[in-house]
């Protein structure tokens, strides 16, 4: 889309900057997701007794995969009708729902989970 006073060179620059920002944003998002997933897996292993750690790790993996499938399936829904705020796009509604769910679940975990220090056998 050309605007008055903007030439093709300007449009090409905007296109390159947009691509660079999208790639950097993708890697920042990927790093953030991996960081939170690693903490969740570590917490599951810290809280489970030694005999149940394999099961806890498998359960965490299943839940992460289930979340990925659910995220894919949510793409078929009209999310803009589900959020109480006006959103301009499906992506904005998806991000808003994801931020709310992530914040609630992490806060719930931080408030309710009590970790006990490991005691050495005497």
Tokens of 93: 């509604």
pLDDT per position as a tens digit, 6-38? 678 888 888 899 999 989 988 998 888 888 888
91 and 77 in contact (C-beta within 8 Å)? Answer: no
- pTM across the whole model: 0.66
Q: CA 93 to CA 83: how far, in whole Å?
A: 7
What is the tens place of the pLDDT at every residue in 35-77? 888 888 888 888 888 899 899 889 888 988 998 898 888 888 8
Q: How far apart are alpha carbons 46 and 113 in whole angstroms?
A: 11
Q: Report DSSP letters for 63-82, one per residue.
A: HHHHHHHHHHHHTTS-GGGT
């Amino acid at each position: 889309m050309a605007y008055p006073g903007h030439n093709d060179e300007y449009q090409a620059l905007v296109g390159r900057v947009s691509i660079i920002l999208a790639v950097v944003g993708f890697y920042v998002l990927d790093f953030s997701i991996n960081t939170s997933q690693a903490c969740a897996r570590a917490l599951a292993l810290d809280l489970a007794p030694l005999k149940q750690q394999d099961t806890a790790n498998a359960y965490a993996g299943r839940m992460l995969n289930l979340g990925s499938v659910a995220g894919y399936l949510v793409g078929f829904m009209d999310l803009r009708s589900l959020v109480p705020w006006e959103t301009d796009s499906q992506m904005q509604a998806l991000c808003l729902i994801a931020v709310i769910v992530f914040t609630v679940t992490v806060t719930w975990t931080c408030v309710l989970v009590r970790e006990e220090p490991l005691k050495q056998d005497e």
